[in-house]
Amino acid sequence: MKVLKFGGSSVANAENIQKVVQIVKNEQQPKVVVVSALGGVTDQLINAGTLAEKGDESYKEVLQALETKHLDTARALLPVTHQSSCLSMVKQHFNELDEICNSVFYIRELSLRTKDRIISFGELLSSKIISAFMSSANIQHEWLDSRKLIKTNNNFGFAAVNFKDTNEIISSTVAASGKQAFLAPGFIASDANSNTTTLGRGGSDYTAAIFAAALDASALEIWTDVTGMMTADPRWVANAKTINRTSYQEAMELSHFGAKVIYPPTIQPVMQKNIPTWVKNTFAPNEAGTVIESAGEHDGSEIITGISSINSVTLLSLEGSGMVGIPGFSKRLFEALANEKINVILITQSSSEHSICVAINAADAAKAKNVVDAAFETELNQKKVDPLKVEEGHAIIALVGDKMKSHPGIAGKMFGALGRNGINIRAIAQGSSERNISAVISVADVKKGVNVLHEAFFES
Ligand code: ADP
Ligand code: MG
C-alpha cells in the first residue's frame, strides 16, 4: 500500500485535478489518495465564518463565490452525463454550510468547534468532486470518510490524534477491506462524540502520514507545487536546489523552523514506522523530488541540508534583580505558557542568571504577556521581577543539518556572513540535537538573511 497526498495548489482547479488523477492512475500499487481543499478555499471558509460572527452579511457573497467555484470545477471535470449527482451533492453541502453560517450570524459567535465544522467542508467537497471525476473515468476506488477513521481529542482547530483508536479503525476497515484504491479528505477528523475536528493548518500532510503509518505503507508521497524539499524556500531564494535525500530528523527540523512544504507533525508517524516519504511535484511528476528516510540510509555529503525561517516571532524576556533567588522561575514561565498552549520556538541563553528570553509566534504575544505577568504577580508586586518585556518584529533563521555537530565553525561562518551584510543578531540558540543553529534577527532582514546564508553555504 502507498499513500499519496495532493495539496491545495495541486487540486486548485479542474486542469490541475486532471494532472492529479493522471498521477493516481499511473500508480500501480494499492493506494490511499488524500486530498486538500481546492486552493484558497480554507481561507475563504474562515473568512465567511468570521464575517458572519461580526454580523457582516457579506459572508453570503463569500459562500456564493465558493459554491460557484466548486460547481464550475465539477462542471469542467465531469461529462454532462455524470454531472447531476455531483452538482446536487455540492448544492446540498452549501445548503448546510449556509445554515451553519446563518446561525453564527444570528448568535454572533464562532466557537472553535463551529469553525472546524465550517472548514471541514473544504476537504469534503474537494474529495467528493475528485471522487466523482475518478468514477466518471472508470477509476475504481472507495471514498473514505476521514472523520470516522481518524479519532482525536476535542482540541478544536488543532486536535491531537488518538493513535490507538485510529490505527485500529483504519486496519479493521481500510486494510481489511482488501480493496485496491481509496480516496480520502485530508485535514479532518472527529472526537469521541463525533464532533468534527481538524488537525491544524497544513494538516492534510499529517492525515496522509497517519494513514501511511496505520497501513504500514511502503511509501508516503507528498505531491505539491515544487520539486521536493529545497535548500531554502524557492519563493525567496532563486538558486534554491532540491535536496535529494534527507533524514526524518532533518526534515522535522526544517519544517519546525518554517519550511512550509511539510507540516511538522507529519514526520513523526512515518519515522516511527520507517516509511520512506517522498516530496514530489504534481506539475513535474517525472522529477525525482526528495526522499526522507532514516539517517542511516542517507549519506549526503552536505554539512548543511537547508535553511528555513519563521517570519513573525515575538521575543519575551523575563528579567529582574530578584530572579536569582526565586527557585524554579523558568519552570513557572514555561508552565504559564504551556497552560495556554503557547509554543516556545526557542530559548536563548543569557550570560547572567538575571534574565531568560524565549521566542514565540507573534500571534500568541498578547496572551503570553497576560499569563506570564499573572503567574509572577507576587514577585512583580515585590519588584523582584520586571513586567514581561515583549519585543515584536522578529524572525528566526535556522541552519539545519545532521552533520553539523561534527563540523565546528558552522556557527562562526553563519554569524560572519550575517554580520558582513549588516544583519544584526538579537539572540542565538543551538538545538539540543545539534542539528540546527538558529538566530533571531529583525523581520526586516529575514529575506536578505536567508539569501546571504544560502549564498555562503550553497553557492560558493
Ligand atoms: P501544499 O498546498 O501542496 O500543501 P504548501 O504551500 O503547503 O503546499 O507547501 C509548498 C510551498 O512550500 C512551496 O510552494 C514553497 O514556496 C514553500 N516552501 C517553503 N520552504 C520550502 C522548502 N525548503 N522547500 C520547498 N518548498 C518550500
Ligand atoms: Mg501544505
Per-residue confidence (pLDDT) for residue 407, from 0 to 100: 83
Given the CA of residue 228, which atom of ligand 1 is nearest to it?
25
Q: Which of 194, 225, 256 is the last residue of a domain?
A: 225
Pocket of ligand 1 (CB under 6 A): 7-10, 36, 202, 224-226, 229-230, 232-235, 259-261, 306, 308
Residue 363 lies in a domain: yes
Residue with cell 508552565: 335
Per-residue confidence (pLDDT) for residue 297, from 0 to 100: 56
Residue 433 lies in a domain: yes
DSSP state of 161: B
Q: Which of 170, 199, 225 is the last residue of a domain?
A: 225
Shared-domain flag, residues 33 and 179 = yes
Q: How far from 180 is each of 142, 324, 434, CA to CA, in Å?
A: 9, 63, 43
Residue 297 lies in a domain: no
Shared-domain flag, residues 61 and 178 = yes
Query: To test ligand 1's pocket by mutation, which of 207, 226, 254, 400 has the most ligand atoms within 8 angstroms of CB?
Result: 226
CATH number at residue 10: 3.40.1160.10
Type of residue found at 87: L
Per-residue confidence (pLDDT) for residue 10, from 0 to 100: 98
The neighbour count for residue 9, using CB atoms within 10 Å, is 18
Cα separation of 438 and 448, whole Å?
A: 15
The sign one gets for the Cα dihedral 183, 194, 171, 7 is positive
Per-residue confidence (pLDDT) for residue 299, from 0 to 100: 59
pLDDT-flagged residues of the chain (< 50) = none
The residue whose CA has the least distance to atom 21 of ligand 1 is 233
Shared-domain flag, residues 207 and 83 = yes
Shared-domain flag, residues 191 and 311 = no
Shared-domain flag, residues 183 and 332 = no
Residue 301 lies in a domain: no
**Number of domains observed in the structure of the chain:** 2
Residue 110 lies in a domain: yes
Residue 327 lies in a domain: yes
Shared-domain flag, residues 156 and 24 = yes
At 233, list the grid cell.
524556500
Shared-domain flag, residues 312 and 452 = yes
Per-residue confidence (pLDDT) for residue 430, from 0 to 100: 79
Type of residue found at 339: N
Distance 383 CA to ligand 2 centre (A): 46
Per-residue confidence (pLDDT) for residue 395, from 0 to 100: 97
Per-residue confidence (pLDDT) for residue 405, from 0 to 100: 81
Given the CA of residue 231, which atom of ligand 1 is nearest to it?
23
Per-residue confidence (pLDDT) for residue 351, from 0 to 100: 56
ipTM score for this prediction: 0.99
Q: Which of 225, 252, 269 is the last residue of a domain?
A: 225
Query: To test ligand 1's pocket by mutation, which of 187, 260, 454, 458 has the most ligand atoms within 8 angstroms of CB?
Result: 260
Shared-domain flag, residues 29 and 172 = yes
Q: 157: buried, middle or exposed (CB in 10 Å: 19+, 13-18, 0-12)?
A: middle
Per-residue confidence (pLDDT) for residue 424, from 0 to 100: 94
Domain that holds residue 439: 307-458
At 274-311, the pLDDT tens digits run 999 999 999 999 999 999 999 765 556 678 999 999 99
CATH number at residue 318: 3.30.2130.10
Residue 291 lies in a domain: no
Per-residue confidence (pLDDT) for residue 321, from 0 to 100: 79
Can you tell me whether residue 194 is helix, strand or coil? coil
Q: What is the pTM of this model?
A: 0.94
Within 7-111, strands assigned E span 31-35
Can you tell me whether residue 425 is helix, strand or coil? strand
Residue 107 lies in a domain: yes
